[in-house]
Amino acid sequence: MVPSSQLQADAHSVAVTLNEIIAGYTGPATRLRDGMIYATSNGGKRMRAALVMGAARLASGSDKNPQGAQRTAAALEALHAYSLVHDDLPAMDDAQLRRGYPCTHIHFDEATAILVGDALQTMSFEILADPQTHSDAAVRIKLVATLAAASGLDGMAGGQMLDLEAEQGNFDLEAVKAMQAMKTGALIKAAALCGGIVGGGDEGLLAALDGFSRNLGLAFQIADDLLDYQGDEEVLGKPVGQDAARGKGSFVTLLGLDEARQAAVDLVTEADAQLAPWGDDAAYLKSLAAFAIARKS
């Protein structure tokens, strides 16, 4: 059920691509470059990269444009890494550890971390705009537009703003769902869609990937809440129970443990159903959905 060799191969190829891209910058801002490498090297599960790669393979029927899919995955991972670096800042979540290592603002300093996040965001759009990602400008601009719509005021950044505000108020289930759909779900959806776009998928596949990834994104976040509630700090690489301690509304506090677990399972079932017409060709994406709620970190 849990994807292993293919997930590892995808994670590895995207990490290599990311490193090559950052090493390709030859300007004098070496401290900033070092910070960008630090922030993207400890990449965790690379769930977004795997979604891009899996959706691109499903769309193209093979690895027709593996470099394009890898670069698109690298852009998604860079965007995700930027958001983690900024979310960890003292003024935001004030985190010390990320995946068992000191956060970028701890290992470097706060100013460097702000700039690392800023430059990683820029880089993600620069990667997508580059002809090496796809020869067709219309495909590249669709990638840029999809990632931008997922990341800004009505997407990830807006969701983080709502999440910070949630600490001061009582969010009900609908409000938590809406917030998480923006904060985490939008980028997970963009990963699946960008994979489909760079792989040349038709509108039917893109619609299915949309439905798949919406359900997956919510399941992923419920699993996150469950891990925050009952996870193993050593496996997670960060303290648990922080959300509850801050009084933040989460799926676990609002639904209870059992119902939250069941909701995650149901969402994965619904996600898989979206890809039913593609049969075994969608096995990898489905295994990612299963992995999203079975993971221990």
Cα distances from 108 to residues 34, 80, 122, 218, in angstroms, run: 9, 19, 20, 33
Distance in Å, CB of 278 to a second copy, minimum: 28
Distance in Å, CB of 296 to a second copy, minimum: 30
114 binds a second copy (CB under 8 A): yes
> CA 211 to CA 269: how far, in whole Å?
12
The binder of a second copy chosen from 64, 67, 102, 129 (CB under 8 A): 129
Nearer to a second copy, 151 or 274 (CB): 151
> CA 52 to CA 67: how far, in whole Å?
12
290 binds a second copy (CB under 8 A): no
The binder of a second copy chosen from 138, 202, 234, 280 (CB under 8 A): 138
Among 39-47, 151-159, 197-205, 283-291, the segment contacting a second copy (CB under 8 A):
151-159
Tokens representing residue 224 in the block? 């996150």
The site that binds a second copy (CB under 8 A) totals a number of residues, namely 56
Per-residue contact string for residues 11-50; x = within reach of a second copy by CB under 8 A: -----------x--xxxxx-xxx--x--------------
Angle between helix axes 283-294 and 257-274 (nearest 10 degrees) is 170
Distance in Å, CB of 250 to a second copy, minimum: 18
Per-residue contact string for residues 164-203; x = within reach of a second copy by CB under 8 A: xx------------xx--x---------------------
Distance in Å, CB of 155 to a second copy, minimum: 8
Question: Residues in the chain, how many?
Answer: 297
Among 110-118, 241-249, 257-265, 276-284, the segment contacting a second copy (CB under 8 A):
110-118
279 binds a second copy (CB under 8 A): no
Among 61-69, 162-170, 202-210, 212-220, the segment contacting a second copy (CB under 8 A):
162-170
Tokens representing residue 254 in the block? 């609002």
Eight-state DSSP code of residue 182: I
Region class of 100: left (phi > 0), else alpha (psi between -120 and 50), else beta: left
Nearer to a second copy, 148 or 207 (CB): 148
Q: State the pairing for strand pair 101-102/97-98.
A: antiparallel
130 binds a second copy (CB under 8 A): yes
Mapping DSSP to helix (H, G, I), strand (E, B) and coil, where does residue 145 land? helix
Give phi and psi for 240, each to the nearest 5.
-105, 170
Nearer to a second copy, 163 or 225 (CB): 163
Contact 108, 38 (CB under 8 A): yes
Contact 84, 39 (CB under 8 A): yes
Distance in Å, CB of 191 to a second copy, minimum: 16
Tokens representing residue 11 in the block? 């994670």
**Angle value at C-alpha 277, between 276 and 282, nearest 5 degrees:** 65
Cα distances from 273 to residues 36, 58, 184, 276, 282, in angstroms, run: 38, 15, 21, 5, 11
Binding site for a second copy (CB under 8 A): 22, 25-29, 31-33, 36, 82, 86, 89, 91-92, 109-112, 114-115, 117-119, 121-123, 125-126, 128-130, 137-138, 140-141, 144-145, 148-149, 151-155, 157-162, 164-165, 178-179, 182
